[in-house]
Amino acid sequence: MPDGTVTMEIGDTQGHDVDAAAAMGQVRASIRAIAAAETDPATVLTRINQLLVSMGAARFARRAGHRRQRRPCAGAVRAR
């Protein structure tokens, strides 16, 4: 993310057909584009929702996410 956090998203779209796969691709691309400019997860979800509503999306999408701040290393770690 632009602010140095690491975010992992897991998503699913309603359905198991080609249309569902296409919808998931649109959602994924949209999340990546919006998250590149926005750091607040609530803002990203709001903008994604607004986009899907404006497109008249016929399917539901859901997501789960995890956001983590990077911490400076306390010291070097050596593998043996």
Q: Which candidate, 53, 30, 17, places its Cα nearest to that of 9?
A: 30
Give tens-digit pLDDT for 6-59.
Answer: 777 777 777 888 888 888 888 888 888 888 888 788 888 899 888 888 888 777
Domain boundaries, the chain: 6-68
Torsion from C-alpha of 10, 50, 14, 31, nearest 10 degrees: -30
pLDDT at residue number 61? 76
Q: Residue 42 and residue 38: Cα distance in Å, rounded?
A: 10
CA neighbor of 24 nearest in space, from 35, 34, 12: 12
DSSP letter at 64 equals E
Phi (first) and psi of residue 12, to 5 degrees: -150, 145
pTM tops 0.85, yes or no: no
